[in-house]
Structure 1
């Protein structure tokens, strides 16, 4: 069984001086999330971070992010979101073969597939330069189709920043994954896809794409207010930050847990 942890929307932010303060909210929140991951009795096999790693896409922000993630002993797989800069992300994580900028044209889509304990993790790039919404053009969709076709018998988790299903929060759906029909058609043709996981929403949700369970991850920093009215209020709440943990078996069964940030020790045994 593979255990894949998901962090999302860390939003590490530099101040006016161009440096990231040690006591800033996003830094303290990510430290807590990393500590929470390390406190799990079963350590994840890998961690994927589904976008909006930084607030402004600055080199200093990625450098601090890289340092904050360094206590994690497992592989960490970063992906871009609409707040990110692909080139600066690649430069900061140049030690990661799948992310390396070597031979890549500037601002090329950052997408790759890797093996995690016998399960495939396919990381897609849904970002659109200079825009908050998401999309996958014909080239990115062709890459996804070919990548999935290369391993039809391996249980696969597909990761995006923008969720390919409606959330119901007007503020988020205004920045949605535009025209996800092509993405959904490809997912529908590749039966080995057992889960589609996304960020962007700053809270956990569960939907479906082509009949597959699809989820969004809580932010390690701030959660968005659950206002399903129209037009609704765009606001953050005091709800706990968190992350997700996905369990995938060799037979293709998948389970997702949403975990609030913190080191929650057992209060008592129940057996």
Structure 2
């Protein structure tokens, strides 16, 4: 069984005078997420970062991110979100073979596939430069179709930043994946896809896409207020930050857990 942790919507800003840890909210939150992840009894085989890794896409922010993630002993797979800059992300993770192979052009999407403990993780780029919404387009959808077609018998997790299913929070749905129907049509052709998981929403949610379970991940920093009314209020809350953990079996079974960050020790044994 593969264990894949998911951190999302970290929103790191540049530190004062180049400091890695200046005690700011996003820094404290990421350090707590990393500590909580390392405290799990079964450590994940890999960590996927589903976008909005920084707040402004500046090189100093990615350098800070790289340093704060350094305690993680497992492979870390970064993806771009609408707050990210592809060039700066690639430069910061130049030591990452999968990222480096995505190319050097500013317009080249940061998308790749890797193997994690017998499971395939396919990282998609849904970003549109200068815009908050997501879009794959013909070229990226063709890449996804070809990539999935290359390993039809391997259980696969597909990761995006923008969720391809409706969340119910108006302003998030207004800046979701605008070609989600075309994306779903690709997923429908590949039954080995056992989970589609995304960021962008700043809270955990579960939906359906082409008959597959599709999830979003809590933010390591701030959670969005759950207002399902129309037009609704765009606001953040004091709800606990968190992350997701996906368990994927060799038989194609898949389970997702949402984990609040913090130190939560067993209170008592129940067996």
TM over 0.5: yes
**Counterpart check, 1:95 vs 2:102:** no
**Counterpart check, 1:156 vs 2:156:** yes
**Counterpart check, 1:41 vs 2:33:** no
TM-score of the aligned structures, taking structure 2 as reference length:
0.97
Structure 1 CA distance, aligned partners of 2:157 and 2:234? Answer: 30
Once the two structures are TM-superposed, the CA of residue 236 in structure 1 deviates from its matched residue by: 0.3
TM-score of the aligned structures, taking structure 1 as reference length:
0.97
* Residue ranges of structure 1 left out of the alignment (5+ in a row): none
1:182-241 superposed Cα distances (whole Å, 9 cap, x missing partner): 110010010000000000000000001100000000000000000000010000000000
Is the CA contact 1:4–1:48 (under 8 Å) kept in the aligned structure 2?
yes
What SS is found at the alignment partner of 1:99? helix
1:78-112 superposed Cα distances (whole Å, 9 cap, x missing partner): 00000000000000000100011685322310000
Change (3 A) 1:250 1:56: same
Superposed CA RMSD: 1.3
- Counterpart of 1:181 in structure 2 is 181
Structure 2 CA distance, aligned partners of 1:205 and 1:136? Answer: 22
Structure 2 CA distance, aligned partners of 1:168 and 1:200? Answer: 13
Once the two structures are TM-superposed, the CA of residue 15 in structure 1 deviates from its matched residue by: 6.1
Structure 1 CA distance, aligned partners of 2:216 and 2:43? Answer: 21
**Counterpart check, 1:122 vs 2:122:** yes
**Counterpart check, 1:79 vs 2:79:** yes
Change (3 A) 1:51 1:70: same
What SS is found at the alignment partner of 1:98? helix
Change (3 A) 1:103 1:129: closer
- Counterpart of 1:198 in structure 2 is 198
